[in-house]
Structure 1
């Protein structure tokens, strides 16, 4: 509610303006001009703060604005005050004689805007404080009797407003001081997510060869209730950069490993099992270089999707996006050995940009002993002698609602960690040649179209040519695709419906004939997220994998889950 409890009476302002005319040095302006411009020009003479309402005055930032605005020592510091302004000499006189004119933090004065009684009181209070300082310093002769008389009349007229304003500002300063004393850091903010996940899977007994699918005797796993916690400490030193330090802990299992068909296609997007211990999950620094270039420097878990644009805004997040791991983005382009290295994003203009990154493998998992990583000085480790992924992506946005991307990636994976499809496809898709050194040339295209406010259409297509680098010279081809539909604000604001349908990575050809996927799997995901409150969203969904592990002898695998997301 804006403070307009008492309206301006014209007489006090006319009297005040006439009485203060010598101090304001109005010069040749006539009395009629002064009276006619009173409601417009009082702001030019005395305003020091923005229009104050009850809600805004309760915010610590308002006190900070009041503090930072008391810094004008010359009228020339006010960018929107010109010597041709009719009240320029009055402002100049008040600044030079009493120093009680203040601008906004952006060095503007905004003298043409409307003024409330509380704003006038704030300006009057500033002048009273300055005059009190002059008198206390034994310089009372520097203040004219006319000025003191005018100020006395104004003080009497605005006694109530001055008392209220001073009381509110004092209270806000006390709250601000308490917040500053108790705050964690002046440069770092904590934002965090917590996921509670209920999940269950079911399907018939798996078949196929032992290499494709180890036999299972049960058609249903145990229902599970698990969690994941992520703490993001986001630090900025300049306001344009970001140092992200993320800690996480969780016990969400890979459900695919427990299904009847033993397929990673059933793996959830947010599956994380650290045995309940917190680990350092991400550590990277993003900073601008000039106006068009942004750089990323990663020490741990900086991934291609952090640097590049997946063009899948509604489903890319493991917190708020797809329920399935495959549904987040193209695994052949945005997944691979990564973690430490450099990324660059150059924006030529709003329509065209290019992304490049070189990332070497890191492993912060508390469940394994990290070996052959970017931090390893021996073996298949270091930045250039171990697992790595280099990406280049071109992004074209002919309009704000439509984007397309073209990408190329080159990867190398030592035999101990080889996983070409990054646990989203079949066994052959992960290791086309077995546990041997493998390199891949990867190609992909992505698109996203915001058809309307309530409907978004997106998808991708990806291809990889894998080469055996040790123990032989075989070649294999992998292929995958996906389309997705998102329905923002479906049935209620903040809710969202989603449909994802696609083919997980499949080995379509291989020099080792026995390691070709015999048929084709399809993944269908249906989800609906409804926002319980600003900080709580519940998303039930179901995932169906037809012909799991690209084997039509395998019955359909189903995954049902209810994800509850807390954000703060």
Structure 2
């Protein structure tokens, strides 16, 4: 529906239409008694036509709201009940509340927000005092700058025409002056081009609106998605298990992510995520091309499903509990990601199929223990600066067998306290996660335990035994200026291999981001860190390298990328991942992965 502005210009135009309509009254006037009672005839779902003689109520709302308090046309044009104790006169004003009413304004001075210095003051004065067709709001205001609908304009015009009928019927020809008619004729000629242009714009807008309504996916559900195509290859490095050179082949793969976002009341959201992927990871724990999780890219397919099989990768319902608390209930989701819905700690690196190339450059390891599953996340704002997040995910919550289910199987329980500065240019988070994995259980990623990044020892368990971890993280982000931001984190995890012994794992990372680098909307990023490293191990525990043997060397993760924003929908991101001493063993030659990702968003 087209929207016009009910400001002083349209006050003038109503006066213009009122007077020019007098020129068009050429039939003998009927008396007021001959005018049939007012009725409303529905034409379509969006159109209401007043019958001849209707005198609609003019410009009243409940509490001066522009958007939510527009009076329904059914109330504006509704007939007066015959048995009404206090009948509404032909020009009486009624608000959307049937109990609130104000009589016709007799003087423009009754409108508190109209001043003699207003450029349309004389037009308003004429409409109020000469013709008696303008009424105000119950609070004695006119509100000349608020938006009005075409229904309201039609109601006002109808009131003016009704007034014309009264004047003609009463024979008040003294109100029709030759000077007025000559002025109106001049105005009609002067504004003819503008009226024609306005009519064309309105018609065009209505046509486009009708096309959008006819072609829209849904009135309550919005479909958003992205498709990524990746050309990638390992150009240096060995398999850390076989010690043989890794194949230096380039591949072309894809990933698809579709989200259906539905809101039932405007504050809640049901999200269903569909995904498909055929990207092969560069490595996993003692498997894959490189034989390690070091340098694992962020875009890779689940090993449990065939390539490019469309799966439901997420089902989540989010609703508000009061004004400061949001509840996310999910049957399938990455629970740690749910805590980032109010804003990630690492915004320029973290994102789905965008920004950072590797999984590690996006997140501290504290968020990577576990897998997708069912659970709940709660976000509560103590203030605009301080937020508490709590999350529980059951990795195999849909599986009723032994060592599975919501509470007996693999889980991650995570808590986070997040501080954001008033200007939102600084964020600091303190995070804790408790996770447990029964023996021989895996999730969608195909893993049993561990941060899914870093060394093979950090991701290993004792065969046939359960594993428990308490993980702590501190993450920070600071935007120095619009073109430069820095972020960093440190993480510590205490592993307990039940009935065997303990281990400690550390990680750290730091990144520089360059928003709008070379072009507005583009982004450059540099990241350096140490992926999760097993720094100590109980003497009687063997995780594959011997009793009590931990990672002996230090490996660095070095990454760079440039996301070139072609337009609002397309981004091209070349990048490189360089791992020194893969699997934290200096005898392994450095590995280098080149990456070129093109992302389409819609």
Match of 2:483 among 454, 457, 475: 454
> What is the match of residue 563 of structure 1?
597
Q: CA deviation at 1:171?
A: 3.8
Cα distance in structure 1, aligned partners of 2:149 and 2:277: 56
1:384 aligns with 2:407: yes
Which residue does the alignment assign to 1:482? 509
Deviation at residue 216 of structure 1 after TM alignment: 4.2
Question: In the alignment, is residue 320 of structure 1 matched against residue 322 of structure 2?
Answer: no
Instruction: Tell me the matched-pair count.
Output: 492
8 Å Cα contact 2:366-2:431 kept in structure 1: no
Give the match's secondary structure for 2:457.
helix
- Worse-superposed segment, 178-187 or 548-557: 178-187
Tell me if structure 1 keeps the 8 A contact 2:553–2:585. Answer: yes
Q: Are 2:144 and 1:111 equivalent residues in the alignment?
A: yes
Q: 1:279 to 1:147 in 2, by over 3 A?
A: farther
Conserved? CA contact 2:489–2:509, under 8 Å: yes
In 2, distance between residues paired with 1:142 and 1:331? 86
Structure 1 gaps, min length 5: 1-7, 21-45, 49-63, 207-212, 362-372
Q: Distance in 1 between matches of 2:462 and 2:390?
A: 29
Q: Match of 2:261, SS?
A: strand
Bigger Rg, which one: 2
Report the counterpart of residue 287 of structure 1 in structure 2: 319
Distance in 1 (CA, whole Å) between partners of 2:155 and 2:196 is 13
Comparing 85-94 and 177-186, the one that deviates more: 85-94
Alignment of 1:477-556 (within 5 A): 477-511=504-538, 512=541, 513-556=547-590
CA distance in 1, matches of 2:520, 2:328: 35
The C-alpha deviation readout for 1:424-475, integer Å capped at 9, x for no partner, is 1122111143463211111111000001111110011111111123xx2321
Q: How does 1:135-534 map to 2 (within 5 A)?
A: 153=184, 156=188, 160-206=193-239, 213-257=240-284, 261-273=290-302, 274=305, 275-308=307-340, 310-361=344-395, 373-399=396-422, 400-416=424-440, 417=442, 419-434=448-463, 436-469=465-498, 472-511=499-538, 512=541, 513-534=547-568
The 1-side partners of 2:144 and 2:496 are apart by 71
Q: Contact conserved, 1:245 with 1:284, CA < 8 A, in 2?
A: yes
**Residues 123-142 of structure 1 aligned to structure 2 (within 5 Å):** 127-129=156-158
Q: Contact between 2:557 and 2:578, CA under 8 Å: does it hold in 1?
A: yes
TM-aligned CA distance change 1:141 to 1:392, over 3 Å: farther
Residues 147 and 193 (structure 1 numbering): CA distance in 2 closer, same or farther, change over 3 Å? farther
Distance 1:91 1:306, change over 3 A: farther
CA distance in 2: counterparts of 1:529 and 1:175, whole angstroms: 34
Distance 1:267 1:163, change over 3 A: same
Q: CA deviation at 1:240?
A: 2.2
Whole-Å Cα distance in 1 between the matches of residues 176 and 135 of structure 2? 14
| C-alpha distance in 2 between matches for 1:214 and 1:493 | 44
* Superposition CA RMSD, Å: 4.4
> Do the aligned partners of 1:283 and 1:302 also contact (CA within 8 Å) in 2?
no
Q: Cα offset for 1:322?
A: 1.0
| TM-score of the superposed pair, with normalisation by structure 1 | 0.75
Q: 2:112 aligns with which of 84, 106, 115?
A: 84
**CA offsets 1:128-187 (integer angstroms, 9 cap, x no match):** 455568999x99859976889879948946555445434433443343233223322101
1:34-113 equivalence runs, <5 A: 74=93, 83-86=111-114, 110-111=143-144
Distance in 2 between the 1:234 and 1:311 partners? 24
- Give, in whole Å, the separation in 2 of the partners of 1:156 and 1:65: 34
TM-score by length of 2: 0.71
SS in 2 for 1:329: coil
For structure 2, the residue ranges without an aligned partner over 5 or more in a row are: 1-7, 21-57, 61-67, 78-92, 101-108, 116-120, 542-546
* Greater helix share, structure number: 1
